[in-house]
Amino acid sequence: MSIPDFQTLMRPLLEFLSDRRDHALLEVRQALADRFKLTEEERKALLPSGRQGIFVNRVAWAQVYLSHAGLLENPQRGHLKITERGVKALAEAPEKISIAYLQNFPEFVRFRINAKKPKETLMDARQEDEGRTPEEMLEDAQFRLRTDLSSELLNRVKNCSPQFFERLVVELLLKMGYGGSRQEAGEAIGTAGDEGIDGLINEDRLGLDTIYLQAKRWEGTVGRPEVQKFVGALHGKRAKKGVFITTGSFSAEAKQYVTSIEPKVVLIDGQTLASFMIDFNVGVDLIASYQVKRLVSDYFDEE
């Protein structure tokens, strides 16, 4: 069974609390996970950001919505309890308690109105009806924006000149912490030409180790023979580390080959290159930043 959406969790959450006792939130999560027969992998699955579990996030939003409708309360930090209104709702509500049903409660309507002002971008009703939480909608939008930007970056890189590609890789490696100064890195990388970049760079600013580089603007798939040539060149230099960068992709055979050889070789395909460019702000600018905050329950403890 897949992880249920937060609206699907609403009625089961109330049903678990129907004994009118005070239950710890951890106990509630465990009971719901058991009810839906979630696997260990599903219980541990994370949102794309890796900062919160998907199931934990959905239970939290089911709790938030039910609380704003007055169907449950927090008798103490980290605990939940059903209200008299919640008991009545269980008897009168349809088989699935949803946002549409919660609209019957004035407190919830006011909460929704306030949540949507001044803009209705984060809480689109159609998307909510699909059962996605606000965090999931935000992360999905961020993923789509990043995917589109990555594709656009890669297309521009493929159309640039070899000299520009050389400067781009120098910039990226410096921002990733490799090499020394820009001048030192440029001299090191630009020592040879093979349809792009073919040179070396210091692994760190002290020059304690050297990394050999091969970079090709490539439209298709780089196969094992091309990677083997690079590895052969590394052996000739008695090099221990190498990085092969391409704007294309690597075949499965090429990827498998580098896992079982010495020296250590890292393959960076076009998608990874574009991702690094975004992460280290090479060829991109930050146009907006949004902060997602949450309540700190300890702040309100009066003991």
DSSP H helical ranges for the chain: 10-16, 25-35, 40-44, 54-68, 84-92, 99-102, 106-116, 125-129, 134-159, 162-175, 182-189, 224-236, 252-258, 270-279
**160-279 matches 10-132 in CATH topology:** no
Q: Which amino acid is at 281?
A: N
Is 67:73 a contact under the CB 8 Å cutoff?
yes
pLDDT of residue 278: 95
Query: Can you give the three-state secondary structure of 29-51, one letter per residue?
Result: HHHHHHHCCCCHHHHHCECCCCC
Between CA 70 and CA 65 the distance in angstroms is 9
pLDDT of residue 45: 93
Closest C-alpha to 215, from 273, 156, 151 = 273
SS3 for 206? coil
DSSP state of 238: T
What residue spans define the domains of the chain?
10-132, 160-279
Q: What is the pTM of this model?
A: 0.66
Q: Is the dihedral of CA 124, 130, 134, 138 positive or negative?
A: negative
Between CA 118 and CA 104 the distance in angstroms is 23
Low pLDDT (below 70) residues in the chain: 1, 115-130, 180-198, 297-303
Is 10:66 a contact under the CB 8 Å cutoff?
yes
Between CA 88 and CA 80 the distance in angstroms is 17
**Does the structural domain 160-279 have CATH classification 3.40.630.30?**
no
Q: Could you tell me the strand order of the sheet in which 23-24 lies?
A: 23-24, 79-82, 72-73
Q: Please, how many CA atoms are within 13 Å of residue 190, restricted to the half-sphere of its CB?
A: 15
**Does the structural domain 10-132 have CATH classification 1.10.10?**
yes
Place of tokens 């493929």: 158
